[in-house]
Amino acid sequence: MLRVGVTGGIGSGKSTVARRLGELGAVVIDADQVAREIMEPGEPVLDEVRKRFGDSVIRPDGSLDRAALAAIVFPDPAALAALDAMTGPAIGRRVALRRSAVSPGTVSVFDMPLLVERGLWVHEHVALVVETAPETRVRRLVEQRGLDEQDARHRIAAQASDAERRAACDVVLANDGTPEELTAAVDLLWRDRLVPWNHNLVQGRHSRRPDRSAVVAPRPDWGARGGRLVARVAHALREISAVTEVEHIGSTAVPNLPAKDVLDLQVGVRDLAVADSPAFEAALRHAGLLRFDHLTADTPRPSGADPAQWEKRVWGSTDPAGVAHIHVRRTGSPGWRLALLFRDWLIHEPAARQGYASEKHRLLTLDDRTSVYAEAKEPWFAEALPRAERWAVETSWTPR
């Protein structure tokens, strides 16, 4: 089951997007609806709210006066944080219960205004933000919802900024045009990414990169995408005590370096046997990652090194729009250390980075097939390893 988080500032149109995903076949869980349910008379959370904010937020019939509560919390960050602390856990429990009842193979959409503010995006396979200019949002709130302009601005200011949402989300849908344009964008996303991704999860299929022209010019989003994947993998493995760290490695972790459009992550573990445990595999599968059973070791470096020291396990992504490989290595092993050394050396040594880029370009002009290119790089690695090791000594480098 593919999990999709949909968010956006108040008045952005996120509920319109979620509703359209529901029309296309997804099961939508609306956090605002759940939040209303947990505030109904007789619910424990409503009693907590009464105690914290007073009887003025309760109507004569015992129901919540939402306007009165909003007037208290939105201008006051401390009051809003207190309300979130009361409602957040209750909403989370109810949402989790409803998601557990969604039929396998169905796309599950979580429509959540505070997806970014509460860090809940790490639970989702893909996070989607609907983005609209602030002044447009203010106008919509005043004209369509009848809010006072100052109230509308308070509510917008109390939420995450566009930049914060964009940093946490994988897909940005602009909603400054017509409703028809927004619907068309949602339909395209559904057809080209969400449905194929869900199919890959159900069928147990990895996403694939092309065999030709796989190496591309440096992309400015590699760092942000790598950071989001690191956060998701770290969250998925949070209960596995043997995990020491999760890092973005490889060429996409090095700014201004051409690379295959593939994110490489390294998970360090105290004992590689943990990577073969059912709990480890289940955690990564829940994050949308599937194991490559045939990949069990790195090429020993230097040539002739003990192969037993270069074991690893590898998982791959299922996202048709984003290939990723998760390399699990024993912390302190030669392969674990080399992955970090080469990344840091290339980041901090412009001459080495430029030399590697030139070698990539040279090899691609000879044969741009990925399989051929990967093997052709081996002589460069053999020559570069002593230089990287000298740099490590000269700079007193150690793995983080």
User: Residue positions in the annotated binding site for ATP?
Assistant: 11-16
Contact 119, 10 (CB under 8 A): no
CA dist 308 to 97, 175, 214, 273, 311, Å?
Answer: 45, 54, 31, 13, 6
Closest among 276, 235, 267 to 248, alpha carbons compared: 267
CA dist 146 to 130, 141, 142, 149, 363, Å?
Answer: 22, 6, 5, 9, 63
Annotated binding site: 11-16
Per-residue DSSP letter, 349: -
Query: Residue 247: helix, strand or coil by DSSP?
Result: strand
Contact 329, 312 (CB under 8 A): yes
The tally of CA atoms less than 13 A away on the side-chain side of residue 182 is 22
Edge to edge, what strands does the sheet with 323-330 contain? Answer: 243-249, 262-269, 323-330, 313-317, 289-291
CA angle 173, 113, 57 (to 5 degrees): 150
CA angle 337, 341, 343 (to 5 degrees): 125
Helix (H) or strand (E) holding 174: strand 171-174
CA dist 81 to 34, 35, 85, 118, 164, Å?
Answer: 18, 15, 6, 11, 18
Token pair for 375: 């093997």
The partner residues of 10 in beta bridges, in order of sequence, read: none
Token pair for 57: 């937020």
Per-residue DSSP letter, 60: T
φ/ψ (deg, to 5) at 241: -70, -20
Give the CA radius of gyration of the chain. Answer: 25
Q: How many CB atoms lie within 10 A of CB 150?
A: 10
